[in-house]
Amino acid sequence: MIRFDDLSLFVRTAALGSFSNAAREADLLPAQVSAAIQRLERELDIRLFARSTRSLRLTAEGERYLPHAQQALAQLREGRDSLHAESGALRGILQLAAPSDFGRNMLLPWLAELRNAHPQLSLRLSLSDQVTNLYRDPVDVAIRYGRIEDSSYVALPLAPHNRRVLVASPDYLRRKGRPQSLDELRAHDGLLWGLDGRLYDKWVFPLEGGRRQTVTMKAALACDDADVARRWAIDGQGIAYKSWLDVCSDVRAGRLELLLAGQPTEATPLSLVCPHRKQFLPAIRELHALLQKRCAELGAP
């Protein structure tokens, strides 16, 4: 018989990459975690991990089994949560991943609002511009920009009509002038971000008839944290091409100004993403309803 604790330790070991890390998180000895994995392997009659003195990685069988283990654990959690559904109280732990800029500048007070309404619910927030692997990383749900092409995920819309906007500070515009066309953008200082060695210096703008225009920007400053590009823009260092959700409060406060207001810009919808619809636990449904409402209140540029 497969033990719940063994299944949970398998999922955490896969996410953390070692018996030691999983043991530390669970307040166990590494030998206890190793024994739990061995019991699970005997029950399944497969090898879940390929072990060596220096590394631990999932086998092909372990990779295939991992999403089933995560789904089984999620269903057990859903069953537990349903026992408390009549009271309307949420409890347990909800693990959430979000983009750095949106997470720091918009999401934090909304999560505090959720916690105030449900004090027995614990939240674990991971902020990164890296795309979270919902089958491997220790998260239940992720907030993502862009269209979700992976059919293995289920995405609930938060801000389906969100778009990027061009912004700069009043100080920068006084010093460098305001671009009047996309062609004039190239002469300005671009505030860029990069990920995994790739610099996103090509800004895309839709045109009539389904065509697109790409403007390659010179990188005055670049960083692997998208929030830094917004901060640089506020500091007058150049022009940024950011999600409206990330900069709307700065625009309304006068820290940033919109540029080329009549120019259509790239769509960047925001969604709440989960590996499987059965994993939409009550806490996730509550989170989705709250975030969808708060995003709608921010309006459009």
The mean pLDDT value for 129-158 works out to 79
* Residues 166, 242: Cα–Cα separation, whole Å: 7
Q: Is 84 a residue whose pLDDT tops 80?
A: no
Does 276 or 74 have the greater pLDDT score? 74
pTM of the predicted model as reported, rounded to 2 decimal places: 0.72
Q: Is 3 a residue whose pLDDT tops 70?
A: yes
Highest-confidence range of 46-50, 162-166, 209-213, by mean pLDDT? 162-166
Confidence tier at 83 by pLDDT (50, 70, 90): low
Share of the chain above pLDDT 70, in %: 92
266, 163 Cβ separation under 8 angstroms: yes
Reading the block at residue 267, the tokens are 């769509």
Q: What are phi and psi of 140, to 5 degrees?
A: -95, -30
In sequence order, what DSSP letters do the residues of 36-49 get, joined into one string?
HHHHHHHHHTS--E
Considering the chain, what is the average pLDDT of its residues?
87
181, 261 Cβ separation under 8 angstroms: no
The mean pLDDT value for 63-68 works out to 89
* Residues 70, 132: Cα–Cα separation, whole Å: 15
The reported pLDDT for the residue numbered 9 is 86
